[in-house]
Chains A and B, each alone.
Chain A
Amino acid sequence: MSRFFINCDQASILSTRGQYGDLNPKEAFRHKLHKGHCISCRSFHKNNERFQRALKGLKWVSLTIAQKKSIRKCLSEAMMK
């Protein structure tokens, strides 16, 4: 039975991993079981999900390969001087 039950520290890590879709079915089950009887982990998981939604709603941009190349070129030219 003990393999089904996890403590709050483990549950909070599983909650975070779950936000990135990293849980296997066993871990997801353990997490769900823990949330069933732990109010604080349930509340943490809700906040964690809300935070993830906020992150997803944000527009993240990154430099393209060409932009990085161009900046790298400028930087290496400056370093050569």
Chain B
Amino acid sequence: MPEVKLIPEKWVDRYGDYLFNFTISRVNDAVIAQDLVSETFLAGLKSAHRFKGNSTERTWLISILKRKIIDHYRKINSNKGKAEVRMSYLSSSDQEGDWMEEQAADLRNPNVEDVIEQRELGQALEECIACLPERYATIFVQKTIDNLETETICKEHNITASNLWVIIHRARVQLMECLNKKWHKNN
């Protein structure tokens, strides 16, 4: 395997959208997602000397991001604990119990299941994209998600249009197989 070198100058363009998508499906807040992506890049920069080149840049950044997301939820949970203690002191108010209704999903809404299913499918797809060879993943994301022109992608990667379609086709076949295993198995 060729040695992988970190190029932090290109991180935002190369992985920004992918990491943002990965994060937003897990935290459901654009501002928090942006902060987490930003923190991930900074953490990556700080620990760049520890990068051994055994994985690709993207895999390495995703592993940092996953830890950031876990930390984010730990933080929220510790704050929630404090809030719940406060709630118990104020429980005599007329609005007792309202907070629960605000937090609970509206199960009468028929779209809730669809939304959850879409989110789970999205997460499964992201995991499958992460398993693709880096070049395949980048080109697939650029064409399918970012909707970039074929010519633009070909220029960036220095490939012909027919090479691009072969790569996209292979990526799609691998993704379909991966989704069949991950997603359809669980449903």
- Residue numbers of A with Cβ under 8 A of B are 12-13, 16-17, 20, 22, 47-48, 51, 54-55, 57-63, 67-68, 70-72, 74-75, 78-79
Across-interface contacts of B41 in A (CB, < 8 A): 71, 74-75
Contacts beyond the supplied A22-B150, A63-B16: 17 A-B pairs with Cβ under 8 Å: A13-B165, A22-B165, A47-B176, A48-B176, A58-B118, A58-B125, A60-B145, A62-B146, A63-B17, A68-B13, A70-B34, A71-B12, A75-B41, A75-B42, A78-B45, A79-B8, A79-B45
Main secondary structure of the interface of B (DSSP, over half): helix
B143-187 at interface with A (beta carbon < 8 Å) = 143-146, 150, 165-166, 168-169, 172-173, 175-176, 179
Q: How many of B's residues come within 8 Å of A, CB to CB?
A: 36
Decide: A62 and B20 in contact? CB cutoff 8 A. Answer: yes
Decide: A74 and B34 in contact? CB cutoff 8 A. Answer: no
Smallest CB separation, B43 vs chain A (Å): 10
Decide: B11 and A75 in contact? CB cutoff 8 A. Answer: yes
Main secondary structure of the interface of A (DSSP, over half): helix
Given A13-B165, A17-B165, A63-B17, verify A74-B38 contact (CB < 8 Å). Answer: yes
B101-148 at interface with A (beta carbon < 8 Å) = 118, 121-122, 125, 143-146
Decide: B42 and A68 in contact? CB cutoff 8 A. Answer: no
Across-interface contacts of B16 in A (CB, < 8 A): 62-63, 68, 71
